[in-house]
Structures are given as structure tokens and as C-alpha cells.
Structure 1
Amino acid sequence: MEPRSVQFSRTKLTELMIPSFANFGGKVHGGLILSLMDKVAYAVGSKHAGTYCVTVTVDGVEFLQPVEVGELLTLDAAVHYVGNSSLVVGIKVTSENIKTNEVKHTNNSYFTMVAKGEDGKPTKVPELILEDMTEMRRFVDAIKRIKVKKEANAKMQKEQDEFIMVDDMELLNNQRCKVEFKVDDDFNDLFSDT
């Protein structure tokens, strides 16, 4: 399996935002943009892998600016990282006002894809050739994001496993919630002043 460059599978998708794409606020619906991002991630991942890819996780979706009806939306996507059967596709989304030619950066995201073989099981992907400092930085950034995410998931799992009703109830103080369910007598005894 020959290694492939970032440019080999880099893909740009551009689409005109039409009125039927608008949400109730008159802006382009975020779900539509996510769908387009998933499409371009699939195209990039499958082209690099040379086989069918599926989306496993989506990280870092933050809508920085609204997209207006009538603008051209461009999704620029490239492989940032490869593992054994997984790869991370970075996507930068911009929109352009076709009357004024003003371009605005609307969001970034990272889609983790897994390559599937004919048997439907994960299959190995080609190595990634890094041809400049930007590509190397993106590869390293992806490694760091994966590490931080694993650590955060492990920490959150530990917190969930160690849930202590009395201690964790304090987290609800000054929050916008109201507990309205019946708790057992043992729990009430913990909070009584007797």
C-alpha cells in the first residue's frame, strides 16, 4: 500500500445556499452544513483510504458566524492524520457573499473516519506523506487532540463511576434547575438537621 499525500485526497465542495436551506431565523440551517461536512469528509477519507469510510466522531464543531441564503458555501477538507484504520479529516468552512465578494470563516471541524473493507471490518489505510510544516503541525495537533480526548473521556468516566449523591448535589446550587422527584428516606436523612 503506497503512502498518499495530503493533496491526493484534498477536496473542495462549493454549494449555493438557497432559500429552502433556511431555518426559522432566516439563516442557513446548521444541520445542512453538518450534512455537507459529513459528505466532504466521506469523499476525502474514502479517496485517501481507497475504500468505503464511515464517520466515527465529529469534534470541534462551532458555528462562528451565520451563513446567509444566497451565499456560496465552500468546504475545504484534507486528511490531517492517519492511524491504522482511522483518519482525521479537517474541514474549514467559508461563505462568500457573491454580490460583495466578502468571504467569512464560518467554522472548522474534525471528522474521524474509519475505513471499511469488503467484509465490513476496519481495514488499514495508507500512510500520509507530510510535505510541509503546516501538514506536520496538523498531524501533531491531531495526535494531541486524540490524547486530550482520551484523557477527558477517562476522567469523565471516573467522575460518573464515583457519583456521590450528597457531594454531587452541591453542583446543582445556583444552577437553572429544580429537583422535583421523590428520593428515598435514606437520602432525606442525609440532609435533615436532626
Structure 2
Amino acid sequence: MEIYRSRSSQVWGWLCVGLGAAILLIQLIGSGLNGFSVGFGVAVAFAAVGAAAFLRPAVAVGRDAVEFRNVTQTVAIPFSRLAGLEAHWSLELVGDDGTKVGSFAAPARSGRDRLKSPEDGASAEVATLITSAWDAYRAAPTTAAPTTAVSSPVPARADASADGSDAGGAFTRRPDLVGIGLVAAALAGIALAVFG
């Protein structure tokens, strides 16, 4: 399994975590424990946002499936249910039932790159990784290539539930409890800084 994380996200994530540590250190050196809740809350908020939004999101590509690890959920799709890739604001996978999911880890496209194919522009590296694995999956003798191609968007299925989970859909969605915990920690840090 290959894991993709953009280099810029790693840099921004560690900068946020480092900034959170620096804020806490400056608070302790400058004021000691007086007004500690403000500095601690801001430090926790910066570090948690950096970890949740920049360090944790990833694209994992295996032999027979792709997994998007976003901020608060993980979405998996087997190559047998994949219909294509698109790139608008982020790299998106399109299921054979017409549903789409975007990756928080794939670089966002700039305005001039939005009309390019997924293999061009800012998300080229991860799109090439997914396309190569998908081609290898289809070429393997134990799997059959799809006999029909999706030429136009298929409307989302009516039996998909309101929470986004879909028992029979192309994607398997599950909550990422660590990501949810980091978002909650960031919100708690902000609340502590404001009300503490």
C-alpha cells in the first residue's frame, strides 16, 4: 500500500504544531501560570488544527482499492466500483453509481488548473498513483475490466442514507475518531482561550 501526503501539507501541519508549542512556551516564560488558560487554549487549537487538517489527511492506494483519509472520515472504494477520476477543487473519485468523494489530502487546484485533467495540474502526482494502480488492477488476470463505461454522470442513488453512509454504494464511509477528536480539541482550545 502506498500512502500519499502532499509535502506542503506536511510543512504547514508541523508549522502549526510548532507554533502551538511556541505559544505555550512563550506564555509560560512571559506570564507563568497567570492567564495560562488563554495561551494554553490557543496553543492547543493551533496544534490540533495543524494535525487534523494537514498532518492526518492522506490517500492510501492498495492493490485493489483506494482510501481517502479526510479530516473526520475515511472513505474506501474498491477498484471494481471505480468509474473515474475528476479534479475540480480537489481530486475526486467517481463511483460506478455516480457518487463522488473528494480528497482533503490531494492538493487543491488553483483557478487556472481547474479545467485540466486530473493527471495535469496540482493533483497530478496522486492522480498518477491512483491511475497506475487502477490500470494494474484491470490488467490482472483474476479481475475482469468493467464492460460499461460511465459516459455521463449517474444521479446519486435514492436509497443512500442522510448521514452519507450507503450500505450498497460504491464508497464505504466510516468516521475517523482521531480526526474528530482533534477537531473537538481545537474547538475546546478556542473555547478555553475565549471563556477561560
TM-score, L = length of structure 1: 0.24
Structure with higher strand content: 1
TM-score, L = length of structure 2: 0.24
Greater Cα radius of gyration, structure 1 or 2: 1
Q: Which has the higher contact order (CA 8 A, sep 6+)?
A: 2
Structure with higher helix content: 2
